[in-house]
Amino acid sequence: MSNSTRIGKVSVGNLLFHYRNGIGPVVYLVALVFGTPLYPWGRADLNTLLDVTGMLVAGAGQLLRIVTIGYDYIERGGKDRRVYASKLVRGGMFNHCRNPLYVGNILISAGLAMIVNSYAFYLLLLAVIAAYACIVAAEEDFLQRRFGDEYAQYQRQVNRWWPRWAGWNASIEDMRYSWGRVLVKEYNTFFLLALAIVAFKLWADYCVVGASALPPPTALSSALVAWLLLYVLVRTLKKRGYVTG
């Protein structure tokens, strides 16, 4: 990669970092509006298999985020919505993958794309991956300037994207897993993912089969109310300090 290309990628990454929390929702909305869900080769049985695969892939992404956050947490929020880090985090999952949270997000996006199964969603998934590549370039540029040789050594030892699982037990033997931190930091992602999986599945089936594919309105309403009550309960526990990270 030429220096000018790298600088351009870093500049785009710094811009996207500022708005990164909205990348996923905007992409999903655009994909749903402009995409046409399809059954693979028009077969309902293959669609069921694709749905299950998508749920497993999205679940793997969520699990990766949960494992990562429970053992160590990184200042992904930055400072003033800019790339920032007060220390180089290398604990837990970060000792095996430099960007496990982003990998988790990409897996979640890929899983949802499989559930919807529209060309628009698959194309926009590539846009999401490209966006994260630029954000990672911006973060790496900051970390290299901030931590110098320490970060250069970290780059040599740990993969950017693909997790390396060798030595996992040694990485966590002196660490304590924090379920409280997972609940505080990750409850929004978990609840929204559960809602998205159900909503995307129903939307895709409705587009292909019609209203007959939807469950009874009372069942939908009951499920939504239960989801909302549980979400409010967890949010209240967090806000009142009953659960801390």
Predicted confidence (pLDDT) per residue in 28-65, tens digit = 788 778 888 989 888 888 999 999 999 999 999 999 99
Question: 109, 163, 103: which is closest to 133 by C-alpha?
Answer: 103
pTM above 0.75, yes or no: yes
Q: Please indicate, yes or no, if residue 50 is contained in any of the structural domains.
A: yes
Q: Please indicate, yes or no, if residue 167 is contained in any of the structural domains.
A: yes
Q: Please indicate, yes or no, if residue 208 is contained in any of the structural domains.
A: no
Mean pLDDT lowest among 25-29, 63-67, 110-114: 25-29
Q: Please indicate, yes or no, if residue 234 is contained in any of the structural domains.
A: no
CA dist 52 and 113 (Å) reads: 12
Q: Which two tokens stand for residue 199?
A: 């909503």
Q: Please indicate, yes or no, if residue 225 is contained in any of the structural domains.
A: no
Average pLDDT over residues 110-119: 93
Confidence band of 3 (pLDDT split at 50, 70, 90) = low
Per residue in 178-203, pLDDT tens?
888 888 889 889 999 999 999 999 99
Domain count, the chain: 1
Residue 118 identity: S
Q: Please indicate, yes or no, if residue 188 is contained in any of the structural domains.
A: no
Average pLDDT over residues 134-156: 92
Q: Please indicate, yes or no, if residue 199 is contained in any of the structural domains.
A: no
Q: Kindly tell me if the per-residue pLDDT of 21 is higher than 80.
A: no
Per residue in 70-98, pLDDT tens?
987 776 555 556 777 788 888 899 999 99
If 0-12 CB within 10 Å is exposed, 13-18 middle and 19+ buried, where does residue 208 land?
Answer: middle
Q: Supply the CATH number for residue 98's domain.
A: 1.20.120
Residue 2's pLDDT is what? 66
Q: Which two tokens stand for residue 81?
A: 């919505």
Domain that includes residue 98, residue range: 3-175
